[in-house]
């Protein structure tokens, strides 16, 4: 099955670029910074998709490096960024969003050649590395995959296969670097979608960040005693509340403006339900429940 690339308003890749295949990209040395769920899974996928590439991992944890090497997901691992990126061709940052600026600046200082840098962060506005750097050619990316589980022990080679990867170029993005990054992600995931950083962050605030905030609030609204009696509905609704807080705090803060707007919309809908309950308006309740059921059925049909 062919890989799809879609674009939104703004940056427009050439139609012929959609036809690029694996032979058009030669990753050389791929460096993955961060060997948790996302980085470990990506390393495993790169070993499958790019058997001729050298895959290098960077992690502060010796155990993660050792385990990634044992599984055959990386050829080499370092706890320090410098020896890993010195001769890198492609660097993928799989670290929290509040670390990206620092990593990009350090890579620009450390690399001895031009290097393409992409990431997996779910917030795209505010990264200053889209300007002029000595060696770095940055292309923002966000794979819509993941799990509430964390760490390399939760990583798996097929994590990205059915996912969508958002690419967020700007007018300053190097076209050749964008082309290479898009082909890379098209070979790793099911499809890529191109949109501006602002469009991306607005979309994520509604379909990703808001659900996490809601799941968190829902869990905190139930006593620990009552949690002993919950069933599948509660578990399914709140699964993502188990995600790593150290990852999500920077996401919430970085995208707070759009998330606050999304929370206002959500609060307004909750107030509609409360108003219908206060007035015993069964017709209004049924209308909202049916509308939600119909819209959610559309999600199931597309999955």
% of the chain beyond a pLDDT of 90: 81
Q: What's the mean pLDDT in 195-204?
A: 97
Q: What's the mean pLDDT in 219-230?
A: 94
Could you give the CA distance from residue 195 to residue 182 in angstroms, rounded to a whole number? 12
Helices (H), 89-240: 100-110, 175-188, 197-204, 210-220, 232-238
- HEC assignment per residue over 7-36: ECCCCCCCHHHHHCCHHHCCCCEEEEECCC
Decide if pLDDT at 24 tops 80.
no
- Which of residues 127 and 252 earns the better pLDDT score? 252
Per-residue pLDDT at 26: 64
β-strand 141-143 against 164-167: which pairing, if any?
antiparallel
Give me the residue spans of the domains in the chain.
Answer: 4-195, 200-302
Q: Is residue 15 packed enough to be buried (19+ CB in 10 Å), middle (13-18) or exposed (0-12)?
A: exposed
Could you give the CA distance from residue 172 to residue 208 in angstroms, rounded to a whole number? 27
Per-residue pLDDT at 298: 84
Decide if pLDDT at 2 tops 80.
no
At residue 126 the predicted structure's pLDDT band, cuts being 50, 70 and 90, is confident
Decide if pLDDT at 223 tops 50.
yes
At residue 295 the predicted structure's pLDDT band, cuts being 50, 70 and 90, is very high
Average pLDDT, the chain: 90
Query: 75-101, pLDDT tens digit by residue?
Result: 999 999 999 998 899 999 999 999 999
Question: Closest Cα to residue 200, out of 104, 94, 264, 127?
Answer: 127
Its CATH architecture, for the domain 4-195, is 3-Layer(aba) Sandwich (3.40)
- Which of residues 70 and 21 earns the better pLDDT score? 70
Q: CB count, 10 Å around CB of 255?
A: 24
Cβ atoms of 156 and 78 closer than 8 Å: no
Per-residue pLDDT at 128: 62
Per-residue pLDDT at 4: 47
- Domain 200-302: which topology? 6-phosphogluconate dehydrogenase C-terminal fold (1.10.3660)
Query: 56-80, pLDDT tens digit by residue?
Result: 999 999 999 999 999 999 999 999 9
At residue 264 the predicted structure's pLDDT band, cuts being 50, 70 and 90, is very high
């Amino acid at each position: 099955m062919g890989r799809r690339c879609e674009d939104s308003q703004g940056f427009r890749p050439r139609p012929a670029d959609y036809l690029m295949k694996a032979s058009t990209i030669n990753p050389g040395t791929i460096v993955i910074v961060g060997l948790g769920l996302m980085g470990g899974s990506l390393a495993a996928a790169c070993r499958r998709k790019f058997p001729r590439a050298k895959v290098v991992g960077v992690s502060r944890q010796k155990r993660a490096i050792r385990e990634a090497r044992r599984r055959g997901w990386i050829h080499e691992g370092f706890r320090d960024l410098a020896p890993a990126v010195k001769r890198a061709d492609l660097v993928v940052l799989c670290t929290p969003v509040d670390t990206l600026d620092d990593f990009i600046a350090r890579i620009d200082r450390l690399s001895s050649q031009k290097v393409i840098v992409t990431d997996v962060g779910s917030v795209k506005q505010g990264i200053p590395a889209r300007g002029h750097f000595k060696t770095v050619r940055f292309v923002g990316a966000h794979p819509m995959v993941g799990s509430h589980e964390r760490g390399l022990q939760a990583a798996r080679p097929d994590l990205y296969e059915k996912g969508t990867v958002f690419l967020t170029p700007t007018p300053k993005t190097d076209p050749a670097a964008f082309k290479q990054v898009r082909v890379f992600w098209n070979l790793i995931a099911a499809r890529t979608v191109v949109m501006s950083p602002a469009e991306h962050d607005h979309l994520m605030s509604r379909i990703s960040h808001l659900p996490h905030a809601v799941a968190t609030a829902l869990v905190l609204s139930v006593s620990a005693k009552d949690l002993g009696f919950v069933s599948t509905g509660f578990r399914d609704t709140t699964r993502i509340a188990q995600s790593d807080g150290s990852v999500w705090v920077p996401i919430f803060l970085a995208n707070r403006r759009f998330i606050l707007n999304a929370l206002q919309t959500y609060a307004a809908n909750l107030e509609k339900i409360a108003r219908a309950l206060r007035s015993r308006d069964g017709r209004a309740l049924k209308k909202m429940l049916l509308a939600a059921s119909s819209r959610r059925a559309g999600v199931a049909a597309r999955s």
